[in-house]
Structure 1
Amino acid sequence: MKPLLLRFLLAATVSTLSACAMNANTPSSSHTPMSDAATTAPATLSAYHWDLAEARDASGAEQTTWVPPKTRGGAPLRLDFSDQRLSVSGLCNRLGGSYSVDTNKITISSIVGTMMACNDEGVMQYEQAVGQRLPQATVWKISESSTGPRLTLGFTDGAQWTLAGTPTDATRYGSTGEIQFLEVASQRVACSHPLIPNMQCLNVREIQYDATGIKTGQGDWQAFYNEIEGYVHQPGVRNVLRIKRYERAQVPADASRYAYVLDMVVESAQE
Structure 2
Amino acid sequence: MKRILLLALPFALMTACSNPPAAKDSDSTPAPAPAAAPATAASSLDAAQLTANHWLLENAVDAAGKRIDGLLVNPDKPVTLDFKDGRLSVSNACNRMGGSYTLEGDSLSLGGMMSTNMACAGNLMDVERLIGERLQSKLTVRSLDASALTLVAANGDVLSFRAEPTAETRYGGEGVTVFMEVDAQTKPCPHPLMKDATCLQVREVKYNEQGLEQGKRGAYENFYGNIEGYKHEPGVRNVLRLKRFQIKNPPADAPSQAYVLDMVVGSEMVK
TM-score category of the 2 structures, normalised to the smaller one: 0.7 to 0.9
1:45 pairs, out of 46, 50, 57, with 50
Aligned residue runs from structure 1 range 187-198, under 5 A: 187-198=185-196
Q: CA deviation at 1:89?
A: 1.7
Does 1:68 find its partner at 2:71? yes
When the two structures are aligned, how many residues end up with a matched partner? Answer: 242
Return the index of the structure with the highest Cα Rg. 2
Asked if 2 retains the 8 angstrom alpha-carbon contact of 1:112 and 1:131, the reply is no
Q: How does the TM-score come out when normalised to structure 2?
A: 0.74
Summarize deviations over 1:48-87 as a string: whole Å, max 9, x none: 11122334555xx3132364264x4664222111111111
Deviation of 1:174 (Å): 2.3
- Identity in percent: 40
Find the counterpart in structure 1 of residue 237 from structure 2. 238
Is 1:204 equivalent to 2:202 in the alignment?
Answer: yes
SS at 1:44's partner residue? helix
SS of 1:245's equivalent in the other structure is: strand
Provide the alpha-carbon RMSD of the alignment.
Answer: 3.2
Q: Compared with structure 1, are the counterparts of its residues 129 and 265 closer, same or farther at alpha carbon in structure 2 (3 Å cutoff)? A: closer
Higher relative contact order (CA 8 A, sep 6+): 1
Secondary structure at the aligned position of 2:259 is classed as: strand
Name the CA shift for 1:268/1:151 in 2 (closer, same or farther; >3 Å): same
Partner of 1:28: none
Equivalent residue runs for 1:82-93 within 5 Å: 82-93=84-95
- Asked if structure 1 preserves the Cα contact closer than 8 Å seen for 2:40 and 2:144, the reply is no
Deviations 1:135-173 (CA, angstroms, capped at 9, x unpaired): 2433325445xxx61112233455532211111222222
The one-letter code matched in structure 2 to 1:209 is: Y
| 8 Å Cα contact 1:104-1:141 kept in structure 2 | yes
TM-score (norm 1): 0.74
Structure 1 residues 74, 35: CA separation in 2 closer, same or farther (over 3 Å shift)?
A: same
Alignment of 1:130-209 (within 5 A): 130-140=131-141, 142-144=143-145, 149-209=147-207
Question: 3-state SS of the aligned residue for 1:98?
Answer: strand
Give the letter for the 1:80 counterpart: D
Structure 1 distance, partners of 2:81, 2:224, is 33
Could you tell me which runs of 5 or more consecutive residues in structure 2 were left unpaired when the two chains were aligned.
Answer: 10-37
Partner SS for 1:254 = coil
Q: CA–CA distance in 2 between the matches of 1:39 and 1:117?
A: 41
Select 1:78's aligned residue among 77, 80, 93. Answer: 80
Kindly tell me: are residues 156 and 234 of structure 1, through their superposed partners in 2, closer, same or farther at Cα, counting changes over 3 Å?
closer
TM superposition shift of 1:99: 0.3
In the aligned structure 2, how far is the partner of 1:64 from the partner of 1:190? 49
1:256 is matched with which residue? 255
Residue aligning to 1:247: 246
Stretches of 4+ moved more than 4 A in 1? 141-144
Which structure: greater helix fraction? 1
In the TM superposition, residue 46 of structure 1 has moved relative to its aligned partner by 1.1
User: 1:38, CA displacement in angstroms?
Assistant: 7.2
Cα gap change, 1:141 to 1:239, in 2 (>3 Å): same
Cα gap change, 1:205 to 1:16, in 2 (>3 Å)? farther
State the alpha-carbon separation in 2 of the partners of residues 165 and 50 from structure 1: 5
- Structure 2: distance between partners of 1:77 and 1:259: 25
